[in-house]
Amino acid sequence: MAFSLFQDLKLGILGGGQLGRMLIQSSFDFNIDIAIMDPDDQAPCSRIASRFKVGSLKDYTDVYEFGKGCDVITVEIENVNTEALRQLELEGKKVYPQPAVIELIQDKRIQKQFYKDHNIPTSPFILTEDRNEVMRHADFLPAVHKLGREGYDGRGVQMLRQVEDISKAFDKPGVLEKLIDFQTEISVIVARNPQGQVRTFPAVELVYHPEANLVEYLFAPAKISPEVADKAEKIAIDVITKLDMIGLLAVEMFVTKEGEVLVNEVAPRPHNSGHQTIEANHTSQYEQHLRSIMGAPLGDTAALKPSAMVNLLGEEGYEGLAKYEGMEESMAVDGAHIHLYGKSYTKPFRKMGHVTIVDEDLDRLKEKADFIKNTLKIKA
C-alpha cells in the first residue's frame, strides 16, 4: 500500500467534544486533514479544528452533506444518523466504525442480545418494553435498568434494588440487567484495522462516581491476576472480531469475585477509560483510533509506567463560566498532566477535563490522584 494515505485523505469526525479535541491534537503528528461537525458552535473542537461545521449529528442531510466532503468518516459519539452513514458507505466512503456496528451499539438491547447470540459472557438480562414490564419482572431485582437508546455519560441508567425503585424505571424500551456483585470494573481498549490486525491496550480499573455514574478514577494496570487480564483481553478481541468492526472499541467488563469476566457495555471510539494512554503508553488511544481507521499499522500499546486518571467534573452547585481552583497546586504535583477541554461553561458533573498521573509507585499514585481530586475544583 502506498502511504500517501495520511497526506491525501480527508477525515471527517462527527462530534466535536473532548474526544474529538484529543483526536485533533494527535492528528497533527500525521498531517491529517480533519473536519469536524457538531451542533454546538462552542464545542471543544470549534476553535481548534481547521474545518468546523455546525450541524445536527442526528439529521440525515447534515450528516450526509458533511460526509460527502470527506474520504474517511468516524465518530466520537455513537448518537449519530446512521442512515446517512450507510448511504455514504454505499457511495464508497470509508465509514469506521461501520454504520451497522454503530447501530448495534446505539441500542443497548440489541447490543446485549448480540453478546448472548455470540457467546460473549455478559450478565443475565431481560428486555423490557415499558415500566409495567419491569414491574412484572420484580423478582429479577436487584438489577440495573438501562434505556435502550439515547443513554450517554451516566444518563439513561437506573439502579433498581427493590420493588419501590421500579418507579424510577424507564417507561420506554430498555434492558433489565442482573446486578453483578463484581469485585472490579475494568476496561480493555482494542483496535482493529482494515488489514485485520488487532491490538489491545492493557486492562485498566475503573472506579465510578456513585451519584453521577461517571468514571471518577482510573488505575492502570488493573489490579487483577494475569489470568483474568488474559481472559479480558481475549474477550475484547472476540467482541471486535465478531462485530467485524474497524476502529477503536472500549470494552467495559465486570470481574466477579470468582474471577469471571462479563462484558458490561462497549463504545466504538476513544473512551474515558483510555485517556491515560496519552502519557502512560507508547501509543495513545487517539493515535490508535486514527491508525486503525486510516488503514495504518497499529501502534505499540504497552504501558511505560503505571498511571491513574481523575476526571475533572463540574462541581455540584455551580453553573456558569468556569473558574479553576487549585490549578497551581495540582500542576506542582510531579508526574501529573492536566488536560482541560476548552469548555467555558460548567455545570454539575460536566466533564471539563481530566488529569493523568504517572508514577511507578502505586501507593503514591493513589495519593496524588486523591490530592488532585480534592484540590482541583471547577466552579462558576
The binding site for ATP comprises 108, 146, 177-180, 185, 264-265
Q: Of these, 103, 327, 371, 380, which contacts a second copy (CB under 8 A)?
A: 327
Q: In terms of CB distance, is 58 or 305 closer to a second copy?
A: 305
- Minimal distance in Å, beta carbon 93 to a second copy? 22
Residue whose cell numbers read 442512515 = 83
DSSP codes of every residue in 292-315: HHTTPPPPP--BSS-EEEEEEEBP
Q: With contacts defined by CB under 8 A, name the span among 138-146, 182-190, 249-257, 332-340 that binds a second copy.
A: 332-340
Binding mask 45-84 for a second copy (x = CB under 8 A): --xx-x----------------------------------
DSSP H helices, 139-253, are 226-243
31 contributes a contact to a second copy by CB under 8 A: yes
Q: Of these, 326, 364, 367, 375, which contacts a second copy (CB under 8 A)?
A: 326
Q: In terms of CB distance, is 273 or 283 closer to a second copy?
A: 283
- As to burial, measured by CB atoms within 10 angstroms (0-12 exposed, 13-18 middle, 19+ buried), residue 297 is exposed
Cell, residue 131 = 415500566
Contact 273, 222 (CB under 8 A): no
304 contributes a contact to a second copy by CB under 8 A: yes
* DSSP helix/strand/coil, 53: strand
Cell, residue 317 = 452547585
Residues between 342 and 371 with contacts to a second copy, criterion CB under 8 A:
342, 358
Q: In terms of CB distance, is 221 or 326 closer to a second copy?
A: 326
Q: Which residues contact 313 (CB under 8 A, 6 or more apart)?
A: 209, 212, 214, 216, 348, 349, 350, 351, 352, 378
What are the residues binding a second copy (CB under 8 A)? 1, 3-7, 21, 25, 28-31, 47-48, 50, 279, 282-283, 291, 296-297, 299-300, 302, 304-305, 322-328, 331-332, 334-342, 358
